[in-house]
Structure 1
Amino acid sequence: MSFLARRITSRSRLSTQSLRLYTTSPSTPLAAPSPNYTQGERTIHEKLANQLQATKLLVSDVSGGCGSMYSIQIASPLFKGQSLVKQHRMVTELLSEDIKGMHGIQIKTEAV
Structure 2
Amino acid sequence: MSARTDVEADQNQATSGITPDHITSTLQTKLEASHVDISDLSGGCGQMYEAIIVSPQFAKKTTLARHRLVNSTLKKEIAAIHAWTPKCFTPEEWEKKKGGG
Residue 96 of structure 1, aligned match among 53, 67, 75: 75
Within 5 Å, give how 1:1-80 maps onto structure 2. Answer: 40-80=19-59
Runs of at least 4 residues of structure 1 off by over 2 A? none
Identity fraction in percent: 32
Distance (Å, rounded) in 2 between the aligned partners of 1:61 and 1:78: 24
Count of aligned positions: 74
Distance (Å, rounded) in 2 between the aligned partners of 1:111 and 1:47: 17
Aligned partner of residue 66 in structure 2, secondary structure:
helix
Distance (Å, rounded) in 1 between the aligned partners of 2:57 and 2:79: 25
Q: By how many angstroms is 1:109 displaced?
A: 0.4
Aligned partner of residue 80 in structure 2, secondary structure:
coil
TM-score (structure 2 length as normaliser):
0.69
Distance (Å, rounded) in 2 between the aligned partners of 1:43 and 1:86: 23
Aligned partner of residue 29 in structure 2, secondary structure:
helix
Task: Give the letter for the 2:44 counterpart.
Answer: G
Greater radius of gyration (CA): 2
Aligned partner of residue 93 in structure 1, secondary structure:
helix
If each structure's helix is expressed as a fraction of its own residues, which one has the higher value?
Answer: 2
Task: Give the letter for the 1:62 counterpart.
Answer: L
Q: By how many angstroms is 1:107 displaced?
A: 0.8
Distance (Å, rounded) in 2 between the aligned partners of 1:85 and 1:111: 14
Distance (Å, rounded) in 2 between the aligned partners of 1:53 and 1:98: 18
Q: By how many angstroms is 1:57 displaced?
A: 1.0
Residue 108 of structure 1, aligned match among 87, 91, 95: 87
